[in-house]
Structure 1
Amino acid sequence: MNSTQQWQNVTWFDVDEHQAGQRIDNFLFSRLKGVPKSRIYRLIREGQVRVNKKRIKAETKLNIGDQIRVAPIRYEQKDETEAPVSNTVAQSLLKRVVYEDEGLLVVNKPSGIAVHGGSGMSYGLIEAMRAATGKKYLELIHRIDRDTSGLVMISKKRSTLKTLQDLLREHKIQKTYAAIVKGQVALDRQLIDAPLHRYELANGERRVRVSSEGKPSQTVWQVVERFKGATLVHASPLSGRTHQIRVHGLSIGHPLVGDDKYGHQTPYVGPTPRRLCLHAMRLEIPGYPTIEAHLPEDMQGLVAQLRAEQNAS
């Protein structure tokens, strides 16, 4: 496999709510592909990495809204003929664009694809969209989990990135998710108010738990339909914490169906899910039309099976 050394221009990153608290060195490891860790540490030592225009140390932790500038660096790049994103994947993702204007692109991401490459993934949604559109500047405005399907906002202009991330930080963008959870949720509508603390397992994998040491976190749950052993809910997070809906569901005894990280020990007797039953279904952004993505076929099929079992009992 051939590779060549290329010079990369100044690179900018904006820190969103999912990256807050992460060390700058770990942040850069996952985003500067082909750059040795030793080189990244050298860049930091030499002041070629700046956060909000200031020099930092490798252990500096990031805050939401931070702007990271990385000076031009050499990196290893595979030949274009060996690009990991196939044309089939690229074209299929283009068909999943549900909204586009001069500054914003919203994609209905399928479950199973990460929003960016790393952690064993050669590419993610953002790399695939850059390949599909041929646009050099496309940046994620926010993130959703790999196993979660649904709406992901991507900026086509730096001004749009800043504007929408400011709105996210100010909690002015309302996100609504559809989730299938275990058991019958008793209350038609409720506010789950439980602080969430992020920690790491021994293997470095992220986890979240309810803890008094955590950050304030609130989610509004609205029951849509109850079944024999599960409930379809619409969940609107009022804060943007990692795994928030999943952990809040677990905290009230109703973890998500198909979740292999939180509440998988909780009994469930319904149809076997193919994946985590969580879908980012609606975005309400000031100044934009409401953007929606219908429940994907696999979750629709599960709901239909649950409904049939309910009617048969």
Structure 2
Amino acid sequence: MTDEIKTPVQFIDVEEDFSGQRIDNFLLARLKGIPKSVIYRVLRKGEVRVNKKRIKPEYKLQPGDQVRVPPFTLSPEPEKEPVSTSLSIVKNLEQHILYEDNELIVLNKPSGMAVHGGSGLSFGVIEALRALRPTARHLELVHRLDRDTSGCLLIAKKRSVLTHLHEQLRNKTVEKKYWALVAGQWDSKIKKVTEPLRKNTLQSGERVVKVDEVQGKPSETRFKILQRYVEGTLVEAFPVTGRTHQIRVHTACKGHAIACDDKYGDNEFTSQMQSLGLNRLYLHAKTLSFTHPGTGKEIRCDAPLDKPLSAVLEKLTRK
């Protein structure tokens, strides 16, 4: 096709921060938009060279290595948002930074903003932050939040920091607590939900998660009641595991769906909350605690509720 784009051969010098990273993961992170299957194919064919030699996908990079990346043929990109729209997103995001130093950023992610481009979106949080911090060349998401969920999102500025924080996530020493407004009166005896969850990806690409006692993965969310209202309950959710849509499905399976959840929600409760002015999912990553990879000190960030979330609470009747 005449409108296809062919990238030039690249020669990349490996910096200290990428020491020990596998070549396949190095390429997957850098070659956004190139299918995973294509990257592994050029590795197998020996088109990727390190120091002019063929290497295997599991080769671990060393400082000073030079990586030759072969040319790729790309299809034209989908039409992107106008530049003015992108600039306004970037400018607005600066106001949502809760904590920042030379190694990481904690952001109070707005609801309605995807963490990264894709699925028809060319601009997400990580793209905006890269535009906002052009000198931070290795910005990467440490974890993700659903597009409609707001609150604490952790971003690493260095690969060594990313690796350290991923280890904390695996060891479950990162503590993430969410606030959710749910339908009905939450039973105070329900302090823990452990229904196993199975993720299905529909033909459209939409992800749907269901409780599945046979094929589901072990999942655990701990709950605490923050405030009872006549109309519903404000709960704090602490996900011990990190399954897709975990809190949304765990609340719904107990008969207490989250307000304005368009996938697992209670239509009657959602309509009631919409009549009070709520037009977004009431799920917010309120606090985030972790050990700073550089200083070893505990960092705890608290993300204030946005106006739609705080405003609806004021209209509810406390019990």
- When the two structures are superposed, what TM-score results if normalisation uses the length of structure 1? 0.77
Q: Residue in 2 aligned with 1:152? A: 153
Q: Residue in 1 aligned with 2:17? A: none
Contact conserved, 2:183 with 2:266, CA < 8 A, in 1?
A: no
**Residues 163-215 of structure 1 deviation map (CA, whole Å, 9 limit, x = unaligned):** 00000011111100011111111216611111111112232211111112211
Q: Which moved more, 1:259-268 or 1:272-281?
A: 259-268
Distance 1:278 1:83, change over 3 A: same
Distance 1:176 1:217, change over 3 A: same
Residues in 2 aligned to 1:147 and 1:191: alpha-carbon distance in whole angstroms: 24
Q: Residue in 1 aligned with 2:106? A: 106
Distance 1:154 1:244, change over 3 A: same
Q: Residue in 1 aligned with 2:243? A: 241
Residues in 2 aligned to 1:195 and 1:231: alpha-carbon distance in whole angstroms: 24
Q: Residue in 1 aligned with 2:281? A: 276
Question: Any stretches of 5+ residues in structure 1 without a counterpart?
Answer: 13-23, 55-69
Contact conserved, 2:259 with 2:269, CA < 8 A, in 1?
A: no
Contact conserved, 2:259 with 2:273, CA < 8 A, in 1?
A: no
**Residues 270-300 of structure 1 deviation map (CA, whole Å, 9 limit, x = unaligned):** 3302111111110111332211101111100
Structure 2 residue 300 is matched with structure 1 residue 295? no
Q: Residue in 2 aligned with 1:142? A: 143
Distance 1:86 1:164, change over 3 A: same
- Which amino acid in 1 is paired with 2:217? K
Q: Residue in 1 aligned with 2:294? A: none
Contact conserved, 1:85 with 1:123, CA < 8 A, in 2?
A: no
Runs of 4 or more consecutive aligned structure 1 residues displaced over 2 Å after TM superposition: 1-12, 35-54, 70-78, 82-88, 263-271, 286-289
Residues in 2 aligned to 1:258 and 1:11: alpha-carbon distance in whole angstroms: 48
3-state DSSP of counterpart to 2:316: helix
Deviation at 1:72, TM superposition (A): 2.7
**Residues 207-235 of structure 1 deviation map (CA, whole Å, 9 limit, x = unaligned):** 11111221111111111111122111110
- Which amino acid in 2 is paired with 1:192? V
3-state DSSP of counterpart to 1:99: strand
Residues in 2 aligned to 1:268 and 1:220: alpha-carbon distance in whole angstroms: 23
Question: Any stretches of 5+ residues in structure 2 without a counterpart?
Answer: 15-23, 49-54, 61-66, 292-296
Distance 1:274 1:268, change over 3 A: closer
Distance 1:158 1:262, change over 3 A: same
Residues in 2 aligned to 1:182 and 1:130: alpha-carbon distance in whole angstroms: 39
Deviation at 1:106, TM superposition (A): 0.6
Residues in 2 aligned to 1:164 and 1:118: alpha-carbon distance in whole angstroms: 24
Contact conserved, 1:270 with 1:306, CA < 8 A, in 2?
A: no
3-state DSSP of counterpart to 1:289: strand
Q: Residue in 2 aligned with 1:72? A: 69
- Which amino acid in 2 is paired with 1:297? K
Structure 2 residue 198 is matched with structure 1 residue 187? no
> C-alpha root-mean-square deviation of aligned residues, in Å?
3.4
Deviation at 1:87, TM superposition (A): 2.6
Residues in 2 aligned to 1:125 and 1:188: alpha-carbon distance in whole angstroms: 38
